[in-house]
């Protein structure tokens, strides 16, 4: 006979007190797989990220989803976190796919998402900066979901949070709105070298098309392009980049390209180019 719970992706014992014996039977017979205390999924289901988030919220409906989990569910859908992060006391014997942290989060830094709550994009970025990885921050800036100023305002609302010293340093380094970590490193090198007059993500209109230059010295019409190893993504991207560069060169721009491996040449070659162009 079909279980009355068969249509539920997650079975939380507390939601079905009249079916406790039935749930116990399903677990003993291997039809249900326990995920957390009092929360199970069907054995034939793949416990993917979405299902594990449901399980975590079913286990603690008052929890707040934070960090990469909040980002993946709101502004960064392509992100594939390897665990569910939430602000909550930890469960007994927590499985490796869940990370619980005792955090005091102001209500103003949370948003409703269905029947649960997630932190704001700004706070999710700050949470992902804990390990010093700047890619999530750059990703949020590139997507336009937040700004450095808004992230800093959020940081000021959690003044005693662990890791704020590192976060503050990284935010200061990102003040020129880098879209990729390689750009962030380039910005820092240009500042240390005392070079002035450059702009980031500079818009250039050519033949009715808008092009964004990673770093530009508009007065000298010099563009510095930062190429990560995944810069083109595919063959079409590679071809489009060549067309774009030709259009910029024909429009009077000098293009210098740098990668992680060639970044040591950034400052000396930029200085040489500026000396020639000015």
Domain spans in the chain, listed from the N-terminal domain onward: 47-174, 181-277
User: By C-alpha distance, which of 74, 52, 82, 78 is closest to 120?
Assistant: 74
Element (H, E) at 75: none
Diameter of the chain measured on Cα atoms: 83
> What's the CA gap between 239 and 33, in Å, rounded?
49
Q: Per-residue pLDDT for the chain (278 aa), expressed as one digit of tens each? A: 689 998 999 999 999 999 999 999 999 999 999 999 999 999 999 999 999 999 999 999 999 999 999 999 999 999 999 999 999 999 888 999 999 999 999 999 999 999 999 999 999 999 999 888 999 999 999 999 999 999 999 999 999 998 999 999 999 999 999 999 999 999 999 999 999 999 999 999 998 899 999 999 999 999 999 987 555 567 787 888 888 999 999 999 999 999 999 999 999 999 999 999 98
> What's the CA gap between 5 and 8, in Å, rounded?
6
User: By C-alpha distance, which of 18, 64, 65, 20 is closest to 38?
Assistant: 20
Helical ranges in 15-147 per DSSP H:
20-28, 49-59, 67-73, 121-128, 135-143
Please state, in angstroms and as integers, the Cα–Cα distance from residue 73 to each residue in 27, 51, 60, 238, following that order.
Answer: 30, 12, 18, 31
Instruction: Give me the pLDDT at residue 241, please.
Output: 85
DSSP letter (8 states) at residue 2: -
User: By C-alpha distance, which of 172, 169, 178 is closest to 198?
Assistant: 178
Which of the following CATH numbers is that of domain 181-277: 3.40.960.10, 3.40.50.11810, 3.40.50.2300, 1.10.1060.10?
Answer: 3.40.960.10
Instruction: Give me the pLDDT at residue 203, please.
Output: 96
Please state, in angstroms and as integers, the Cα–Cα distance from residue 84 to each residue in 80, 94, 159, following that order.
Answer: 10, 11, 25
pTM value surpassing 0.85 = yes
Helical ranges in the chain per DSSP H:
20-28, 49-59, 67-73, 121-128, 135-143, 148-156, 164-173, 181-192, 235-250, 266-277
- Whether the CA torsion 265, 271, 273, 274 is positive or negative: it is positive
């Amino acid at each position: 006979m079909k279980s009355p719970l068969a249509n539920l992706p997650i079975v939380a014992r507390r939601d079905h007190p009249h079916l406790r014996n039935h749930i116990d039977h399903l677990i003993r017979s291997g039809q249900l797989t326990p995920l957390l205390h009092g929360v199970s999924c069907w054995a034939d289901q793949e416990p993917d990220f979405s299902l594990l988030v449901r399980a975590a919220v079913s286990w603690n409906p008052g929890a707040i989803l934070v960090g990469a989990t909040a980002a993946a569910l709101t502004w960064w859908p392509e992100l594939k976190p390897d665990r569910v992060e939430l602000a909550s006391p930890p469960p007994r014997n927590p499985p490796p796919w869940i990370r619980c942290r005792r955090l005091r989060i102001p209500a103003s830094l949370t948003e409703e998402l269905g029947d649960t709550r997630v932190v704001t994009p700004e706070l999710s970025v700050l949470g992902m900066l804990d390990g010093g990885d700047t890619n999530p921050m750059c990703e949020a800036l590139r997507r336009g979901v937040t700004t450095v100023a808004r992230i800093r305002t959020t940081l000021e609302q959690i003044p005693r949070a662990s890791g704020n010293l590192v976060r503050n340093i990284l935010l200061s380094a990102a003040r020129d709105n880098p879209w990729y970590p390689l750009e962030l490193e380039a910005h820092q090198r240009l500042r240390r070298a005392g070079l002035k007059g450059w702009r980031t993500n500079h818009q250039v209109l050519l033949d009715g098309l808008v092009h964004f230059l990673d770093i530009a010295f508009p007065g000298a019409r010099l563009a510095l392009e930062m190429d990560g190893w995944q810069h083109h993504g595919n063959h079409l991207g590679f071809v489009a980049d060549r067309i774009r560069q030709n259009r910029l060169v024909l429009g009077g721009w000098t293009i210098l390209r740098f990668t992680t491996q060639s970044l040591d040449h950034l400052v000396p070659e930029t200085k040489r180019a500026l000396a020639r162009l000015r």
